[in-house]
């Protein structure tokens, strides 16, 4: 399974023999590109009709999953949503920062990689725009020169669960996440929400020609978590 953030990369992954391609939009947490999920998903789904395409980036609830499936996705990949689960190996303070975020306080930045001692020119990670990020924006060279000190400070922040001073990768969908839940219960809730929305929308289509167009794509058996 290869995750792609451009159409060209998705095509090359398919040509190279990937079994599944993930179309990952910029809304997502962690390393992402600059294309938004909505157009990228459609571009990749249209271009690769013969292999499963999974959609990622900005999806955190049943409506988002249903939306991706209606776009033609064979499944979805959720990252940020699962950070706010009991099982995620992150400090509670980080999980609470996701719950508290309204989704507008993330930024694409090289700072998380520079601070981790990684050199990935041109790669950006979506991260919480907190005091740590604010301190180093535009000062990446200085950050490199102070790496030991900064890494110690990051480790201390992590140990203390200090969300202001840590490097917290998260997507814009943090704004949709309202609670820290057990992962298993979360999966069941999301599946039930998604199915309810798809059924409701399918029912709406009866006798309504505009939505009737969408109805021809609604095939709950095909979408049923294969
Ligand atoms: C903390 C964190 C770490 C991640 N690490 C990786 C990684 O190592 N490799 C990768 O392909 N994607 C990574 N991602 C991106 C996810 O695979 C996924 O594309 C993204 O989380 C989807 O968007 P969402 O966060 O809005 O659900 C990471 C995401 C997060 C939040």
What would the pLDDT profile of 134-150 be if each residue is shown by its tens digit? 999 999 999 999 999 99
Contact 91 CB / ligand 1 (< 6 Å): no
59 Cβ below 6 A of ligand 1: yes
Q: Is 209's pLDDT higher than 90?
A: no
**Does residue 170 sit in the same domain as residue 187?**
no
CA 3 to ligand 1: nearest atom: 11
Structure tokens at 203: 């029912």
Instruction: Grade residue 202 by pLDDT with cuts at 50, 70 and 90.
Output: confident
Q: Give Cβ neighbours of residue 57 (< 8 Å, ≥ 6 apart).
A: 24, 25, 26, 27, 28, 32, 36, 37, 40, 171
- Please report whether residue 46 resides in a domain: yes
* pLDDT value, residue 226: 29
98, 161: one domain: yes
Q: Is 7 in the pocket of ligand 1 (CB under 6 A)?
A: no
84 lies in a domain? no
Q: Is the pLDDT of residue 218 over 60?
A: no
pLDDT, tens only, 11-23: 999 999 999 999 9
- Please identify, by atom number, the ligand 1 atom nearest to the C-alpha of residue 81: 27
Is 85 part of a structural domain of the chain? no
Q: Are residues 97 and 126 in the same domain?
A: yes
**CA–CA separation, 143 vs 136, rounded Å?**
7
| Predicted local confidence at residue 122, as pLDDT | 85
Looking at the domain assignment, is residue 87 inside a domain? no
* The pLDDT value given to residue 104: 98
Same domain assignment for residues 168 and 208: no
Ligand 1 pocket, 173 CB below 6 A? yes
Evaluate: CB of 181 within 6 angstroms of ligand 1: no
Which domain range does residue 155 map to? 92-176
Q: Are residues 135 and 190 both part of a single domain?
A: no
């Amino acid at each position: 399974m290869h995750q792609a953030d451009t159409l060209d990369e998705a095509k090359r992954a398919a040509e190279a023999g990937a079994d599944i391609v993930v179309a990952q939009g910029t809304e997502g947490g962690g390393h992402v590109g600059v294309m938004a999920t909505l157009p990228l998903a459609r571009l990749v789904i249209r271009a690769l009709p013969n292999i499963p395409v999974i959609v990622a980036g900005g999806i955190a609830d049943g409506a988002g999953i249903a939306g991706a499936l209606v776009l033609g996705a064979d499944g979805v990949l959720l990252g940020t949503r699962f950070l706010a689960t009991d099982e995620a190996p992150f400090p509670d303070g980080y999980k609470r920062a996701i719950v508290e975020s309204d989704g507008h306080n993330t930024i694409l930045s090289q700072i998380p990689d520079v601070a981790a001692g990684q050199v990935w020119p041109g790669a950006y990670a979506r991260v919480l725009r907190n005091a740590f990020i604010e301190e180093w924006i535009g000062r990446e060279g200085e950050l490199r020169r102070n790496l030991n000190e900064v890494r110690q400070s990051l480790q201390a922040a992590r140990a203390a669960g200090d969300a202001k001073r840590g490097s917290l990768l998260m997507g814009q969908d943090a704004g949709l996440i309202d609670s820290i839940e057990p992962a298993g219960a979360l999966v069941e809730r999301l599946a039930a929400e998604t199915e309810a929305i798809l059924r409701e929308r399918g029912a709406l289509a009866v006798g309504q020609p505009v939505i009737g167009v969408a109805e021809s794509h609604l095939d709950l058996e095909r979408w049923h978590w294969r």
